[in-house]
Amino acid sequence: MEVIHSIADLRSRIKDYRRKNDQSVGFVPTMGYLHEGHASLLRKARAQSGLVVLSIFVNPLQFGPGEDFERYPRNTERDLQLAEAAGVDLVFMPSVSEMYPSPTRTTVSVTGLTSRLCGASRPGHFDGVATVVSKLFHIVQPDQAFFGLKDAQQVAVIEQMVQDLNLGIEIVPCPILREADGLAMSSRNVYLSEEERKEALVLSQSLQKAKAFVESHTAFTPQELESLVSQHIATSSLAIIDYVEVLAYPTLEPFKNSHHTHSIIIALAVKFGKTRLIDNLILQVGK
């Protein structure tokens, strides 16, 4: 495994690989502080691609004022061990000035899909994500890129960007990995106090309740599911709901009742103290 800091070095390393091999290049972009969720993406890339490229970059463009850019957790040594164990070939770890040597005057903005959920509660967030992912895609030029469905809106946004800009990269969505008790794995879980960590279980529990409701009803409205989920989350006195929304997936359009869509997402963002957690469940519903 090789660790690379400059764009020029990464480009020449990948060019070299392409010259000597006809196998595919797989890419996993991350912000580091890696956990089993990231490892599952890397293992999938390892199984499907000849060369596996991992990027670790905490992207300032996607953090709003007052968000946790400065204190976002970092542990390079542990990240490199996990990457090596997962079979990564190249780790790209650029500095902020390597990625943004001058003020960015070009922004990639995906409209429509970004007007709800995290796009509404984190203004500018998806412009920052689409811009950095598009830069990374141009640098790595992968055949496949692997993204976790924990960030399901991000998957929809990136798929739209790839389609609209004819990037010709296959986006591979990967399932959410959870702790044994159901909490979705996230680098930000490390911020939680012991009590917040216990109470955060209401998130995955509320999604399971919604799943049971969907399975036992032939038809339902999004509002029914939203109130069921919100009410369960409200059983925790520490939880402050940012949003709970049920939409069609991957269009992220509202629908009137379950007869009007095939696939739905139950998406939530909830704060415990200063820590904002997201989770979701995507379900197929009968027409």
Catalytic site residue 38?
A: yes
If one counts every other C-beta atom within 10 angstroms of the C-beta of residue 83, the result is: 25
* 31 touches ligand ATP by CB under 6 A: yes
1 is in an annotated binding site: no
Query: Smaller CB distance to ligand BAL: residue 277 or 285?
Result: 277
Backbone angles phi, psi at 246, to 5 degrees: -115, 120
Q: Which residue's beta carbon is nearest to the bound ligand BAL? A: 151
State both tokens at 63. 């953090």
From ligand ATP, ligand BAL, ligand PAF, none, interface partner of 49 (C-beta below 5 to 8 A by class): none
Q: Give ∠ CA 25-8-81 in degrees, rounded to 5.
A: 60
274 is in an annotated binding site: no
- Check residue 73 and report its DSSP letter: -
Query: Smaller CB distance to ligand PAF: residue 154 or 160?
Result: 154
State how far the Cα of 155 lies from the Cα of 173, in Å rounded to an integer: 7
- Alpha carbon of 246 to those of 121, 126, 150, 198, 276: distances in Å? 16, 20, 15, 25, 19
Residues between 138 and 197 that touch ligand BAL (CB under 6 A): 151
Region for 157 from its dihedrals, namely left if φ exceeds 0, alpha if ψ lies in -120 to 50, beta otherwise: alpha
State how far the Cα of 287 lies from the Cα of 281, in Å rounded to an integer: 19
State both tokens at 82. 């996990």
- In angstroms, what is the minimal distance from the CB of 186 to ligand ATP? 4
Report the helix count and the strand count for the chain, using DSSP H and E: 10, 9
Pairing of strands 90-92, 51-56: parallel
State both tokens at 46. 């390892």
* 133 touches ligand PAF by CB under 6 A: yes
* 127 touches ligand BAL by CB under 6 A: no
Site mask, ligand ATP, residues 221-260, x = CB under 6 A?
----------------------------------------
* 199 touches ligand BAL by CB under 6 A: no
* 131 touches ligand BAL by CB under 6 A: no
* 177 touches ligand PAF by CB under 6 A: no
149 is in an annotated binding site: yes
* 62 touches ligand BAL by CB under 6 A: yes
* 86 touches ligand ATP by CB under 6 A: no
- Which of 38, 232, 260, 262 does the annotation list as catalytic? 38
If one counts every other C-beta atom within 10 angstroms of the C-beta of residue 260, the result is: 15
- Alpha carbon of 93 to those of 53, 104, 109: distances in Å? 11, 19, 24
Q: Which of 7, 14, 31, 155 binds ligand PAF (CB under 6 A)?
A: 31
* 132 touches ligand PAF by CB under 6 A: yes
Q: Specify the residue for token string 């709970």.
A: 244
Query: Smaller CB distance to ligand PAF: residue 130 or 228?
Result: 130
187 is in an annotated binding site: yes
- Residues tagged active-site: 38
> Which residues are annotated binding-site positions for (R)-pantoate?
62, 154
User: Would you list which residues are annotated within the binding site?
Assistant: 31-38, 62, 148-151, 154, 177, 185-188
